[in-house]
Amino acid sequence: MITSRSTFDYQGEVLIEKVKIKAPFTYEAAFQNTGCFIYFKERGPKLLSAVAKTQVQSNEAVLLKCGNHFLDLLRETNNDEVEVIIIHLFPDLLKKLYTGDIPEIAKKQNSSIENQVVVSSDVLAKFIDSLDFYFQNPSLVNNDLLELKIKELILLLIQSKNIRSILELIADLYSSNTVNLREVIDLHLFSNLKVDQLAKLSNLSLSSFKREFKKQFNNSPTNYINEKRIQKAKELLTTTNLPVSEIAYETGFRDSLYFTRLFKKITGTPPTSFRLEHKS
């Protein structure tokens, strides 16, 4: 549960935000051609994506490139509340800030990177403290100041241990490579994305996405994805001892009751019975 949220907007978009979250809490976000810098105070969540599961520690930040992400914050005490600073890295703003001064790596071909954890340094912590000052004094904030803070963050990250990560992220944002629909589907098959979100990640309208999907997979998106998820669930049921509810979560279903009904509809038997019949 989000208990409080403060934001700084830039040209109609939320650029910087401070959020207080009450655990347990799972946050899902789909970023399209947008980077995101997230700093966790006190302690961090487990970062889940289609390609990685990373435990983020306290006072660490993480860089997220475009795609789908889950931030799973589990309760550790009865009164868990965590403060999170989120900075959205929009390509148009970065291009404006670096006109004629784009980092060299941004001119190279796009390279594929996964989410990168940026270990906090004292300097980076001071930067976060400076943002806290402006959240306490919002009347001082304007577009010129926000532009300076974004450029300051980029320069700090470039000088950190994760220089390759931030430069590759910037290069990725500048990239105009065509999105491959099949790669998007493969990458996000178990990420619980809705069809309209997959369409956005593929840079297609919903109707165009469905037509292109039919051409490539000879099936509807919903049927194809459900069949693949149930196929994966069958494998986990017969090769692991994971609870049915966890298998539902691992295969992209957040509602275990819905998963059970769908599994029975497709296979003819409930998950528990399937496990008893097929597990050696």
The answer to whether residues 255 and 135 belong to one domain is: no
Q: Is the pLDDT of residue 9 over 80?
A: yes
pLDDT per position as a tens digit, 33-71 = 577 788 887 767 666 554 555 677 777 777 776 555 566
At 147 the pLDDT is 94
Lowest mean pLDDT among 133-137, 155-159, 181-185: 155-159
| Proportion of the chain in helix, strand, coil states, percent, rounded to 5 | 45, 20, 30
CB atoms within 10 A of CB 99: 8
State pLDDT tens for residues 197-256: 788 777 788 999 999 999 999 999 999 999 999 999 999 999 999 999 999 989 988 889
**Residues 144, 16 share a domain:** yes
Pair (164, 207) in one structural domain: no
Q: Which two tokens stand for residue 43?
A: 């302690």
Task: Look up residue 236 and give its two tokens.
Answer: 């986990």
State the residue for tokens 């401070």. Answer: 18
Could you say which DSSP state residue 79 is in?
T
Tell me the C-alpha distance between 218 and 16, whole Å.
Answer: 42
Q: Residues 4-19: what's their mean pLDDT?
A: 91
The last residue of one of the domains, among 155, 174, 193, is: 174
In this structure, are 170 and 186 located in the same domain? Answer: no
Q: Is the Cβ–Cβ distance between 174 and 102 less than 8 Å?
A: yes
Which tokens belong to 136? 């306490």
Please identify, among 174, 199, 225, the residue that sits at the C-terminal boundary of a domain: 174
Is 2 strand, coil or helix? Answer: strand
Q: Are 216 and 224 in contact (CB under 8 A)?
A: no
Residues 94 and 152 both lie in one domain: yes
| 24 and 107 within one domain | yes
The two beta strands, 67-73 and 25-31, are antiparallel
Q: 104 with 232, same domain?
A: no
Same domain, 166 and 197: no
Number of domains in the chain: 2
Boundary (domain end) residue, out of 122, 157, 174: 174
204 shares a domain with 150? no
Of 13, 61, 263, 264, which is closest to residue 161 (Cα–Cα)? 61
Residue 171, pLDDT score: 60
Task: Write the CATH number for 201.
Answer: 1.10.10.60
- Same domain membership, residue 186 and residue 152: no
Residue 64: which CATH number?
A: 2.60.120.810
Q: Do 257 and 216 sit in the same domain of this protein?
A: yes
Q: Are both 12 and 124 inside the same structural domain?
A: yes
Q: Which domain covers residue 194, as residue numbers?
A: 181-278
| Residue/partner pairs of 262-265 with CB below 8 Å, 24 or more apart | 262/226, 262/230, 263/230, 263/233
